[in-house]
Amino acid sequence: MTRPLSATIDIGAMRHNFSVVRQCVPNAKAWAVVKADAYGHGLANAVKAFSDADGLALIEIDKAIALRENGYNKPILLLEGFFKAEELPDLAAHDISFAVANDHQMAALENANLKTPVNVHLKMNSGMNRLGYQPHEYKKAYARLKAIPWVKSVAFMTHFANSETPNHPKVPVTEQLRRFNGATEGLTGIRNLSNSAAILLHPDIKTDWVRPGIMLYGGTPGGKSAEAFGLKPAMSFDSEIIQIQHIKKGESVGYGSLFTASENMTIGVVACGYADGYPRVAPEGTPIAVNGIKTRLVGRVSMDMLTVDLTGIPGAHIGSKVNLWGNDIPIEEVANAAGTVGYELMCAVNSRPTHLVKE
d(CA 348, CA 53): 25
Residues 273, 299: contact at Cβ < 8 Å?
A: no
d(CA 251, CA 16): 47
Told to judge if 35 belongs to the known catalytic residues of this protein, a careful annotator would answer: yes
Q: Which helix (H) or strand (E) holds 45?
A: helix 43-49
The separation between the first and the last C-alpha atoms of the chain, rounded to the nearest angstrom, is 24
The alpha carbon of 44 is separated from its chain's Cα centroid by a whole number of angstroms, namely 16
| SS3 track for 75-123 | CEEECCCCCCHHHHHHHHHCCCEEEECCHHHHHHHHCCCCCCCEEEEEE
Q: Which amino acid is at 159?
A: H
DSSP letter at 274? G
DSSP string covering 124-183, please?
E-SSS-SSSB-GGGHHHHHHHHHT-TTEEEEEEEE--SSTTSTT-SSS-HHHHHHHHHHH
Residues 266, 310: contact at Cβ < 8 Å?
A: yes
Q: Which of 206, 249, 255, 358 is catalytic?
A: 255
Q: Which of 35, 63, 123, 232 is catalytic?
A: 35
Enzyme catalytic residues: 35, 255
